[in-house]
Structure 1
């Protein structure tokens, strides 16, 4: 396989995708909730499959078009730097508005009401950090990956080995969560066996990334973001229309439904039922103590600024000005979307929890679990056709997010490890592209195998771990290397690995894994908090600071001496275009 893509490959990609479109149903993903359990297969939804097939064929055409434009490593990784700020803002929003957000946040709001907003707030407040601290500097300093930024003035090999390690850990846990959630929900909705669903999602994802690279991935994200925003807007509008566009009436109806549900439980007094109904309008037990709240919030907020597939998008625009514009547009779309999920969550209380069609039995839970709330609401407000549309959009979501994750993992291996570490920066574009595509296939196969292996596991902790790792390892190194003049190679690498290892170890020792996944008795978890970010992120920053100030080596002197040039480049962008190849 060479850097120039033969048309036979594009035709083969279309053929593979077309066959997949005929048999694969739309997929949905869970991230912010518990295990879906062993979902029962149901009758096939042919309306949804038809809409899905139309979408897949359209996006495969985009992939064919993008393949003709993907002739170099810069094209593959960053779409040649030709994406505008508005387009990139939509694509970033698409990366961020995963079905995890769509399903998980709306399900959390349906279950916990006001408390469900902690996800929305935590995810959203990460954007000002990117806007004011990182976006412009990333674009001015970087080329293909965030490791380009972190290693700008440091010894290349150790920093890139760390950066690739952090990237691959984040990507792996994200991929597992996406694949497991996709497989379980396809199995529930459309009658395919779990392993078949996972295999076909993996195959389609590999087709998109292998042949279209960042150009195809970006445009699939843009289309998916528009569809998801449109679908969520319609759902929220239908909910509000029922209540005369009065939030007060919607909230009052939701409280009444929750009160009636609580009252139906044996032994519940009227006072207790009323208290249960009112509890959705204020903070409750979603986060049980201040340390958990702070740690969880830190993971969501700072993890955003350390997610490799999000950071990679700042290199697709032609200038720092367009990078800033990207974040502003992304913040607008994401903020609007999270407002919609709040309405959708409350709408699910009044539309779905009162409809026996969506319940497992009298007083029972939702068919498919709480994370199916938004899907059932789509059915309730728009019938089978709109259910098919939302399902197709959710498929687009899983496919686009997985493609973006795979692309960032492939770039970490081919650009950071192969080109810079192994070949010492002397690899040509064609060989680097070949390694990237081989890595894409390997990551796709690994994602499928892990998705099948983790079929019965709770997947919520995998996504929270990805955010915790990004906040504890990637973000401290990125932040300190760009903004602290005394940071050194040794400090960045040791501190980064301390954050990486501690975040993984503490998460495994937390109740969400130790008890819920590994099956140890309740209360036996060695680490009592769900998210480790407060501790592991602190350890990462302290490690970078301590080992940097203790470092008096010759390399440290070179690192410190390089800061003024880095600062000028990061603030002005002088030399950025030539270095990036845009």
Structure 2
């Protein structure tokens, strides 16, 4: 277990969009600021629209169950494709080459598990959270408490990592002070969730997914056009440019043996199937059929996205690695390896496209933290307050008030912890979140759906 945890914690630096090597500030890009303000204005308008349509607990938790499979698939992709995935994986490919693809696959292969084992049963048995499913056949009080605490622990650790990463990322992209950047993210996510609930969160995630896929597609297309759509030419030039030469086309730089690779893959796969903010999205669709469609579309969008990050990473090797415009006095890339995609955006699209990608990175952060906050608030209000403390004897208005108070508390706590943990290793925080999701949330959820012999004591 200790070895597994060590592997997991060391294997997730790609999720740390603001890790220790992302330091310093970038000159303020006017295009980025303008696009960022436009995005914030658009999402606040969506929140205002959603607030008028969020009247019941079902509206708040699940957007009334009226999201289509395609829309939910986009929103799931938006919830999962974090700035860490975009910047971290492309940065890992930039640094290590082929091994970056191993991590891309690791984060993708969990989706078929969700499709075939989780989606349909979760939608049929649950109501608002995955704790509804876990407590279906077991003693509701203890099992709901267990599931809720697992959800809250996962959400808080993941949220802290995202807040710290967002502060560092915005500090680099926009030249803002770290604490101020964290507060901006925290205030906006509180507004989205408190007033707009799942409906606003869903549409923020959909818009973010479309923008991120469009931006990544343009970058990859620009790289491929330069090489006449020949991957062979791209790889050959990358090998010629990278100091490790042909080694970047070979596996083994990050995962040294098959057992480590299998352990990493299991952690990533089962961690995904235990993330509460992903599982919660299955309740936003009308039925199990739409839930399956959601995963189908999400898998397609996410798979396409990770293919793009592979091309973007190799493109950054060619266009950024030896370009003095993007290197400091020591020859290292400005902002660290995680900024490779940002610099590539400038190399292929100039200041305007750099501004667009910077704004998209910020939008990505907001979409992910909003989903996390809503999942945490739901665990507190629905699982603990309404179902455990009040034994189900609570009206919807009171439950929604508790959820909004929980959202505010989680948001404030996330801001404070984000500032306090500025120097903390983000990969460690994300590793803990995935470890809890894979070892606590997923097993009890899976067994409660497929093993009739599971008891309440066994769940603990």
TM-score, L = length of structure 1 = 0.76
Corresponding residue for residue 94 of structure 1: 78
The aligned runs of 1:228-247 (5 Å cut-off) are 228-247=212-231
The aligned runs of 1:151-550 (5 Å cut-off) are 151-258=135-242, 262=243, 276-361=244-329, 364-492=331-459, 494=460
Distance in 2 between the 1:161 and 1:456 partners? 32
1:71 aligns with 2:55: yes
Contact 2:22 2:168 in 1 (8 A): yes
Which sits farther off after the overlay, 288-297 or 124-133?
288-297
**Deviation of the 1:293 alpha carbon:** 1.9
**Deviation of the 1:32 alpha carbon:** 4.5
CA-to-aligned-CA distance 1:286-338 (integer Å, 9 cap, x gap): 02333332221111111111100000000000011000010100111111001
Distance in 1 between the 2:18 and 2:182 partners? 19
Instruction: Note closer, same or farther for the CA distance 1:182–1:378 as it changes in structure 2 (3 Å cut).
Output: same
Distance in 1 between the 2:418 and 2:14 partners? 13
**Deviation of the 1:186 alpha carbon:** 1.7
CA-to-aligned-CA distance 1:482-532 (integer Å, 9 cap, x gap): 00110111101x2xxxxxxxxxxxxxxxxxxxxxxxxxxxxxxxxxxxxxx
Contact 1:30 1:181 in 2 (8 A): no
**Deviation of the 1:37 alpha carbon:** 4.6
**Deviation of the 1:61 alpha carbon:** 0.5
Identify which of 106, 123, 126 aligns with 2:107.
123
Instruction: Note closer, same or farther for the CA distance 1:38–1:241 as it changes in structure 2 (3 Å cut).
Output: closer
Distance in 1 between the 2:334 and 2:22 partners? 12
Distance in 1 between the 2:132 and 2:62 partners? 13
- SS of 2:97's equivalent in the other structure is helix
Contact 2:280 2:375 in 1 (8 A): yes
Size of the alignment, in residue pairs?
448
CA-to-aligned-CA distance 1:217-269 (integer Å, 9 cap, x gap): 000111110110000000000000110000000000000001xxx3xxxxxxx
Distance in 2 between the 1:198 and 1:65 partners? 26
Distance in 1 between the 2:317 and 2:204 partners? 32
Distance in 1 between the 2:322 and 2:187 partners? 39
- SS of 2:312's equivalent in the other structure is helix
Query: Mind listing any 5+ residue stretches in structure 2 that lack a counterpart?
Result: 1-12
1:46 aligns with 2:23: no
Contact 1:34 1:460 in 2 (8 A): no
- SS of 1:284's equivalent in the other structure is coil
Distance in 1 between the 2:419 and 2:358 partners? 22
- SS of 1:287's equivalent in the other structure is coil
**Deviation of the 1:182 alpha carbon:** 1.0
Distance in 1 between the 2:234 and 2:143 partners? 52
Q: Which has the higher contact order (CA 8 A, sep 6+)?
A: 2
CA-to-aligned-CA distance 1:401-420 (integer Å, 9 cap, x gap): 00000000000000000000
Distance in 1 between the 2:39 and 2:339 partners? 22
TM-score, L = length of structure 2 = 0.95
Q: CA RMSD in A?
A: 1.3
CA-to-aligned-CA distance 1:178-230 (integer Å, 9 cap, x gap): 11111112222322111111111101110000000000000011111011000
Distance in 1 between the 2:174 and 2:16 partners? 22
Larger CA Rg, structure 1 vs 2: 1
